[in-house]
Amino acid sequence: MTEKIKVGIIGCGGIARATHIPNYKKISDVEIVACADVNIEAAKKTAEEFNIAKYYKDYNEMLEKENLDAVSVCTPNVLHKDPAIAAMKHGAHVLTEKPMAGSLKDAKEMYEASKKYNKILIVGYQTRFRVDIIALKTLVESGELGEIYYSEALHLRRWGIPVSPTFLNKSLSGGGPLLDIGCYAVDSAMYVLGFPKPKSVLGVTYNKFGKNPEMAKKGGWGGAWKPEEFQVEDNAFAFIKFENGMSMLLETNWASFIKEDGLNLVLLGTKGGAQLKPLELYKEIMGSRVTITPQDKIPEVDIYNQRIAKFVESVKSGKALFSPAIEGLKVQAILDAIYNSAEKGKEVPVEWDF
Ligand SMILES: NC(=O)c1ccc[n+]([C@@H]2O[C@H](COP(=O)([O-])OP(=O)(O)OC[C@H]3O[C@@H](n4cnc5c(N)ncnc54)[C@H](O)[C@@H]3O)[C@@H](O)[C@H]2O)c1
């Protein structure tokens, strides 16, 4: 490609303005030609601030007029599907925010559309660029841990409730912390483990803080929330069984009485164990149990910059270079099964025939 890659932004809110647009701007052969938001003021402000030539209220109009090569979909979860499919139909490759969609049904339609229109669809799990996650994946692939029979995937917060309707209104978010940050725990674990096939899931969800008026008054990220508008879970837990015999405990929440926040992954294997936070390997060497800790500082990588750079590289090369739609869909299938199990109050199978 000799001409500049023409990019459009759909949804001009927090994540588009903080990470998508500034990182596209750093790439010399990319031009953000337009942005769109149902809130025309948000689109106008973004266009002016970031020197984007055109802005639209209706993303369909933008897609009709601008002949875009690539689009970032930065709308609330439930609203990923329609703009992503419309963009691919109009010939653009798509980077959609995480999770892939607000539901498995929507994620499936997006995946089918990417095949139908032969367009790249990447689900923007920037955690794929974390050096410690890549190190753990390399360790698993080397066979150093032997057969991994148990794992724990955690993304927990002591007090980190996002209060905007994008996250609390179910018709926009599709769910609570399970979709918002549990998706990282599941994606990272599945990526490290090579996407083994899940068999069944037993899940539970709770709302223990969201509807509590005292807690609501205390507030979360960005002030108080209205308890009656807190329509999603605030804690979710699950036990996942895999066809290869492995099992996984998933824990995620926006609020809980724990020591510290964070994403972690614990792996138990027949020849060793390992975890992400802190990055450590547990083995038996010379007849003794040892803990191996990297002595070099784990390099800091701007993972948000990396995901845009890799998406642009994907557009240039014509293939998804990270987190392709099929993997986003598989993560969504597990998240969906957890909600399904929690609702039914029993173990359920995971849909997996994609
Ligand atoms: N990767 C990350 O670290 C990260 C962080 C935060 C949010 N996110 C994800 O990004 C997405 C957006 O989150 P956010 O925090 O930016 O939300 P936000 O509420 O700040 O922004 C969403 C924007 O989308 C606009 N919008 C809604 N419907 C639209 C439509 N039909 N067409 C065009 N624009 C529309 C809204 O007006 C708003 O400006 C969510 O899926 C969220 O999970 C990812």
* 79-125 residue pLDDT tens: 999 999 999 999 999 999 999 999 999 999 999 999 999 999 999 99
The one-character DSSP state at 20 is I
102: left (phi over 0), alpha (psi -120 to 50) or beta: alpha
pTM of this structure = 0.98
- Rounded-to-integer distance, Cα 275 and Cα 183, Å: 18
Q: Which of 44, 97, 179 to mutate to test the pocket of ligand 1 (most atoms within 8 A of CB)?
A: 97
- Chain mean pLDDT for the chain: 97
pLDDT at residue number 2? 61
- Domain(s) labelled CATH 3.30.360.10 in the chain stretch across 129-301+333-349
Q: pLDDT tens for residues 23-46?
A: 999 999 999 999 999 999 999 999
Distance 254 CA to ligand 1 centre (A): 18
Phi/psi of residue 263, each to 5°?
-95, 130
Count of CA atoms in the C-beta half-sphere (13 A) of 5: 27
Cβ–Cβ under 8 Å, residues 233 and 177: yes
Which tokens go with 331? 């993560």
Tell me the average pLDDT across 333-349: 98
SS (H, E, C) 251-295: EEECECCCCCCEEEEEEEECCCEEECCCCEEEEEECCEEEEECCC
Q: What's the CA-to-centroid distance between 18 and ligand 1, angstroms?
A: 11
CATH number for 129-301+333-349 (one of 3.30.450.20, 3.30.360.10, 3.40.50.620, 3.40.50.300): it is 3.30.360.10
Architecture of domain 5-127+304-323: 3-Layer(aba) Sandwich (3.40)
Other CB atoms closer than 10 Å to residue 2's CB: what's the count? Answer: 4
d(CA 206, ligand 1 centre) in Å: 24
By C-alpha distance, which of 207, 211, 209 is closest to 227? 211
Q: Which residues line the pocket of ligand 1, CB cutoff 6 A?
A: 10-16, 36-39, 42, 59, 74-77, 79, 97-98, 124, 126, 164, 166, 180
Rounded distance between C-alpha atoms, residue 312 and residue 316, angstroms: 6
Q: Which atom of ligand 1 has the smallest separation from the CA of 179?
A: 43
Q: Match 């990923």 to its residue by tokens.
A: 80
Specify the domain boundaries for CATH 3.40.50.720 within the chain: 5-127+304-323
Ligand 1 pocket test, candidate residues 9, 10, 15, most atoms within 8 A of CB: 15
Per the structure block, which two tokens stand in for 157? 């917060």
- Give the pLDDT confidence of 166-179 residue by residue, as tens digits: 999 999 999 999 99
To the nearest whole percent, how much of the chain has pLDDT over 70? Answer: 99
